[in-house]
Amino acid sequence: MLRVGLTGGIGSGKSTVAGRLAEHGAVVIDADKIAREVVEPGTDGLDAIRAAFGDDVISAGGLDRAKLAQRVFTDETARVTLNGIVHPRIGARTAELMAAAPQDGIVVHDVPLLVENHLAPAYHLVLVVDAPEEERVHRVVRDRGMSEQDARARIKAQATEEARRAAADVWLDNGGSPDEVLAVVDALWADRLVRYEANVRLHRRAKVGTPRLADPDPTWPAQADRLRARIAMAAGDLARRVDHIGSTSVPGLPAKDVIDLQITVAALADADALADNLAAAGFPKLAWVDHDNPKPYAPDVEQWRKRYHAAADPGRHANVHLRVEGSPGWRYALLFPDWLRANPAERDAYLATKKDLAARFATDDDTDNYAEAKETWFDAAGSRAEEWAERTGWQPTP
């Protein structure tokens, strides 16, 4: 199944997006609804709260949320106690609902505090709904009867726009009419979510298509960081490090709009052990790629063995290379971007090569041919990069 995290600040209109996704067939799991369910009358959650905080936070209708809030917001110990009661029950109920979803389903987890609680890496994709602050204040005052002062205080207490943008794979601007954001959601469902789910389920990478150079995108590093976080969570201790490598990691360098990442492992057996976890996280293995092309200074192909995965997400193409720490391929992947950053003339020469090959393969629907054609330049560049590394004392960044 495809796991989608949905979040947004108060008044952003997140429920509008959740409702539309449900209409399309998504299984929507509402974190706020679950938080209420686990402390309803007759639950062991409510009993635990009564035991911890006394009868004064219980009313005839169940939990007196206002009184409980007064207790926990002024007492850190009380807040920790409450979280210890509520969070495990929310987690267990969420897991139960996730497990009940169909294997070919798209599960949308509606979590108001997704960013604040650093939950983004747990999802295949994170959607953030946003609107201008003044519009959000207007909606909260109009729809919830909250004072303007309270509305602004709630907004200020939540994650900043900067933090939400850092977590967002998809930014949904809901500052206009509902029809505008709904049209974007419709396209997102058809063009990305449905195809992404099928790719994850069938363990296939997203089709990349014709190689075309894109202008440098200042968001490439942030996009790589989101992918790195997902990979790190899926790989656990078997990944010694996860790095953003390749052309998109070099500032100012035009490149194919494909993020390259490297997972460092202690042995190829560890890379093989990660195959299922990475596939489930949206990075299926491509078994026919098992080595890099050897460079003249290290011609033994056995030294260049690796494992290769690629993103299943049709909206964010990515390559994931698993290499053994200390191997020539591992070293080259880390050295090459640093060398280009430090040597503008080499960067320009590389760009000229890329432009020439992109023009030659402009009608080729297979990027593997484009990549293979670059190897002649890489062979010569590898020796020059190693000479630079020896001259400058370059070592991989810890």
Lowest mean pLDDT among 240-244, 272-276, 296-300, 323-327: 296-300
pLDDT higher for 77 or 73? Answer: 77
Which residue stretches of the chain are H helix? Answer: 14-24, 31-37, 44-53, 65-72, 76-100, 133-144, 148-157, 161-167, 178-188, 194-202, 220-235, 268-273, 275-280, 328-342, 344-360, 367-373, 375-392
pLDDT of residue 369: 65
Evaluate if residue 279 carries a pLDDT over 70.
yes
pLDDT of residue 67: 86
Q: Average the pLDDT over 344-362 and give the result.
A: 87
- Per-residue pLDDT tens digits for 88-116: 999 999 999 999 999 999 999 999 999 99
Report the C-alpha gap between 233 and 280 in whole angstroms: 12
- Per-residue pLDDT tens digits for 134-180: 999 999 999 988 899 988 988 998 999 999 999 999 999 999 999 99
329 is in an annotated binding site: no
User: Around Cβ 43, how many Cβ atoms within 10 Å?
Assistant: 15
Nearest to 124 by CA among 59, 58, 199, 178: 199
- Per-residue pLDDT tens digits for 124-135: 999 999 999 999
Evaluate if residue 208 carries a pLDDT over 90.
no
pLDDT of residue 366: 58
CA angle 152, 157, 130 (to 5 degrees): 70
pLDDT of residue 361: 74
**What's the CATH number for 213-392?**
3.30.460.10
Which residues are registered as beta bridge partners of 291? 305
Q: Average the pLDDT over 65-87 and give the result.
A: 88
- Per-residue pLDDT tens digits for 285-294: 999 999 999 9
Domain boundaries, the chain: 2-202, 213-392
pLDDT of residue 248: 97
> At the top level of CATH, which class does the domain 2-202 belong to?
alpha beta
15 is in an annotated binding site: yes
Report the C-alpha gap between 338 and 309 in whole angstroms: 23
Q: By percentage, how much of the chain surpasses pLDDT 90?
A: 81
pLDDT band at 365 (very low <50, low <70, confident <90, very high): low
How far is residue 5 CA from its own chain's centroid?
Answer: 10
177 is in an annotated binding site: no
45 is in an annotated binding site: no
Lowest mean pLDDT among 53-57, 98-102, 169-173, 323-327: 53-57
13 is in an annotated binding site: yes
- Per-residue pLDDT tens digits for 212-221: 899 999 999 9
367 is in an annotated binding site: no
Q: Average the pLDDT over 29-57 and give the result.
A: 93
